[in-house]
Amino acid sequence: MEVVIWIVIVALFILSFIGLLFPIVPSVLVLWVGFLMYIFLIDGASLSIWFWVGAGVLTVLLFAADLIASQFFVKKYGGSKWSERMAALGVIVGSFIMPPFGIILVPFILVFITELISTKDPRQAVLVAIASFFAFLSGTVAKGLVQLILIIWFFIEVFI
């Protein structure tokens, strides 16, 4: 039975990375389900308090990664709050339209249209749309790295 639980835990960890490309999958929640399955179904005492504190802090960082990246890049290039909102909406809608390319194209198009309507300047609209693309990429890379750190830390705690 323990082997089956381990297979599910590893599958959840893999699914958390799939959530980076398909935002409909809640990456952090899936990761935590894997941690909690281990604690409640295999060994309730092997993860240290430092792991749980660190995992909590890194989880907050995961939630903040998108917001920080989006605000940084979009504001740096003069984008509006509506552009930030449209980028977020575009990622969600784009995950259903031509995945995984939709999560790149749909936000880009929505931000471009929003900025074009707002500023009437096609050059500025393209700049902000490109900035939103880099915000998505940097946020995704940051989340992927934090998830990888959490998973490696988990396995270190469990097996060493």
Note the pTM of the prediction, 2 decimals: 0.82
Express as a percent the part of the chain with pLDDT over 70.
99
| pLDDT category of residue 134 using cuts at 50, 70 and 90 | confident
pLDDT score of 40:
95
Rounded distance between C-alpha atoms, residue 50 and residue 45, angstroms? 13
Instruction: Count how many Cα atoms sit within 13 Å of the Cα of residue 120 in the half-sphere of its side chain.
Output: 0
Rounded distance between C-alpha atoms, residue 119 and residue 114, angstroms? 9
CA nearest 140: which of 75, 95, 81? 95
pLDDT in tens, 136-154: 888 888 889 999 999 999 9
- CA 74-85-97 angle, to 5 degrees, is 105
Q: Is the pLDDT of residue 65 over 80?
A: no
Of 3 and 68, the one with more pLDDT: 3
Rounded distance between C-alpha atoms, residue 83 and residue 80, angstroms? 5
Q: Would you tell me how many other CB atoms lie within 10 Å of the CB of residue 45?
A: 6
| Residue 98 Cα distances to 10, 50, 83, 104, 134, angstroms | 27, 41, 22, 10, 20
pLDDT score of 48:
93
Identify whether the C-beta of residue 118 lies closer than 8 Å to the C-beta of residue 37: no
Q: What is the mean pLDDT of residues 73-88?
A: 82
Residue type, 23: P
Which stretch of DSSP H or E encloses residue 141? Answer: helix 122-159
Of 104 and 70, the one with more pLDDT: 104
